[in-house]
Amino acid sequence: MTAVSSSTHRPVISATGLFTPEQSITNEELVDSFNRFVDRENEIHADEIAGGAREPLTHSSVGFIEKASGIKARHVMTKEPVLDPQTMSPRWPERGNDELSLMAEIGVAAARQALERAGREPGDVDAVLCAASNMERPYPAMAIEIQQALGIDGFGFDMNVACSSATFGIQTAADYIRAGNARSVLVCSPEITSGHLNWRDRDSHFIFGDVATAVLVEDAAIAPEAHWDILGTKLKTVFSNNIRNNFGFLNRASPEGEGQADKLFVQEGRKVFKEVVPMVAEMILEEAERLSLDPAALRRLWLHQANAGMNRLIAQRVLGHEASEDESPTVLDTYGNTSSAGSIIAFHLHSEELEPGDTGLICSFGAGYSAGTVFVRKAA
């Protein structure tokens, strides 16, 4: 760690990075594959269906997906197996222990871009947090593998707060800066959501996409001139079963449940919508008041990217009027829901043109429930 004497203990965002997988699936492609799967299943079970012993599966629809969620396409690490009605899951060869694992690989790609944009050498970074909604394995930590691949001295650890992992990571990193325990912390969020999405579930098969983001949180003393001051961070959790994934290391103790739908992402989407919108809007307004910020004067909201309707309602309650695309940019139309990475993608893609002094909000919400706010102001 570099000398603490030249620290301000004021955390800032020095730069962000983004890795976007090359392949993308449109709603049309997704629904076509899903409906072929449905037809095949119904054909296989035609006798049971005719005898009333089984309910037929129902087609998905492009119109429903776009209207209910705003999602038009999503990026994935592997497209072909996901769209193959016989597979409907990602596929790639297992990697050996001496090869970089896939989550680390895309985390490193995003991290490199953040470091490059900040003009920061990996050797100057003190810590790496891998903050994501699923980890490829329990240990060694993905963060330590990313740390090693980048050549960073110091420490790293994984943290999982589902869709709010990145904002919880930013507050954790900011707290290290505030306490003087670090001056440069990388928060990586590699989200390979295609691995925990049930591509055979009509209610949710359209939701997620794969991506990786990185946020470099640093002490203002060492930050590049063009950075974002962190004005305040706030976290909140409230237990809910409405978004759940029961996959875990104890599954093998209950073999009767192995392979069941609850070992992948499941949700009560409508309940989530209804309960999370007021919770998050209230949290943002309370935090703005604590920071003596006028919510109506926020220049831009980089909201969690799960549902365009949720964002419309939250932005309206915060700003006091219907938000324009300029005030609350959407990335879920082409990225889908990328879990914790969503608000960071929005910030990464839609922050450069803002003016020094402009104030905005990065905000996440999702499973747990969990929510996080990071109020930021452009420095230069």
- Which spans of this chain sit near ligand COA (rule: CB under 6 A)? 60-61, 64-65, 68-69, 163, 202-203, 243, 267, 269-270, 272-273, 306-307, 310, 337, 339, 366-367
Nearest-approach distance from CB 160 to ligand COA, in angstroms: 13
Nearer to ligand COA by Cβ, of 113 and 373: the residue is: 373
Q: Is the distance from CB of 296 to CB of 327 less than 8 angstroms?
A: no
Alpha carbon separation from 233 to 105, 318, 351, 358, 364 (Å, rounded): 29, 17, 18, 17, 12
Residue nearest to ligand COA (CB): 269
| Annotated catalytic residue within 130, 163, 188, 363 | 163
Nearest-approach distance from CB 301 to ligand COA, in angstroms: 16
3-state secondary structure of 371: strand
Nearer to ligand COA by Cβ, of 184 and 213: the residue is: 213
Nearer to ligand COA by Cβ, of 210 and 219: the residue is: 210
Nearer to ligand COA by Cβ, of 202 and 227: the residue is: 202
Nearest-approach distance from CB 272 to ligand COA, in angstroms: 4
The two structure tokens encoding residue 268:
């009560």
- How far is it, in rounded angstroms, from Cα 183 to Cα 4? 8
Alpha carbon separation from 323 to 73, 169, 225, 250, 303 (Å, rounded): 23, 27, 30, 45, 12
Nearest-approach distance from CB 242 to ligand COA, in angstroms: 8
Catalytic residue status for 188? no
Q: What is the dihedral of CA 178, 183, 184, 185, to 10 degrees?
A: -40
Which amino acid does the sequence have at 102?
L
Distance of CA 370 to the CA centre of its chain: 12
Catalytic residue annotation: 163
